[in-house]
Amino acid sequence: MKIGFIGLGIMGKPMSKNLLKAKHQLIVRDVNKSAEKELKELGAEIANSPKEVAESSDLVITMLPDSQDVRDVVLGHQGIIEGGKAGLIIIDMSSISPYVSMEIAAELEKKGMYMLDAPVSGGEPKAINGTLSVMVGGNKELFDKYKDLLGAMASSVVYIGKNGSGNITKLCNQIIVAINISAVSEALILAQKAGVSPELVYNAIRGGLAGSTVLDAKAPMIMDRNFTPGFRVNLHIKDLKNVLETSNEMGMSLPLTNMVMEIMQEIREDGSGNEDHSSIIKYYEKKFDTIVRH
């Protein structure tokens, strides 16, 4: 089976490399030519358009920044839908609006093509070591058929339900991550302001109920002043925008998500948009004139 992979960014590039390591044939496409060159050196073919990827593939994976990017690549001029034949499978691993995901899946079905929405969680480190969590919406038989393929990039691959369900699950994930990082930041700034070592506080609480993957991933980054992006503030803002638009469509108000969205927008305005989302701490540091350190 020949796999197309479109989107070789901070997540897509290591994910595609893991597919190559698993001995899959790959044809790739990205606007970043250096990323394409890097994959070519590892054995992938290069395509000139999403249409060309679809023409040469049995299955196409997309890993793109936002809803409109996926819509353009799949349904737009020179898009996948123009090059794909009936029976082509598209697995969109981007984090996008569930409504857009359902819309794209419906348009593909008119041409006899089928889509799974399969967004991921884990950030760049887990994309690199192939231990992402994947949450999948779409046809269950297709999920069963391609679960092992997704397993080449992930340690957890879970079927959720119909098209759009994967992206609903990802939005739930992003709510919890954003609020958790904000809670970690509030706790560490309180410790620092009180004259208590944030590092000792972290070590004391990480084995109890307050312990979490987010705490272990982000507290050390905060104390190290390391804001190299594993997941950028700008991308988390995009995800929370999708959360709030989806909840508004459902007539729901999400007060904590709204608060964290405001925090993220403020640190973006202060120049941290391309930093890791652990830079939420900078909002509290500015507010309380305190820097969190070891």
Q: Which residues are catalytic?
A: 170
Residue recorded with tokens 């089928």: 114
At a CB cut-off of 8 Å and minimum separation 6, what does 176 contact?
Answer: none
DSSP 14-50: HHHHHHHHTT-EEEEE-S-HHHHHHHHHTT-EE-SSH
**Taking the C-alpha atoms of 138, 144, 147 and 148 in order, what is their torsion angle to the nearest 10 degrees?**
-160
DSSP state, 276? B
Burial of 84 (0-12, 13-18, 19+ CB in 10 A): buried
CB atoms within 10 A of CB 62: 26
Both tokens assigned to 191: 């410790």
d(CA 148, CA 286): 46
Give the start-end residues of each E strand in the chain.
Answer: 2-6, 25-29, 45-46, 59-62, 89-92, 114-117, 120-121, 132-137, 154-161
How many angstroms separate the Cα of 8 from the Cα of each of 146, 176, 255?
21, 26, 35
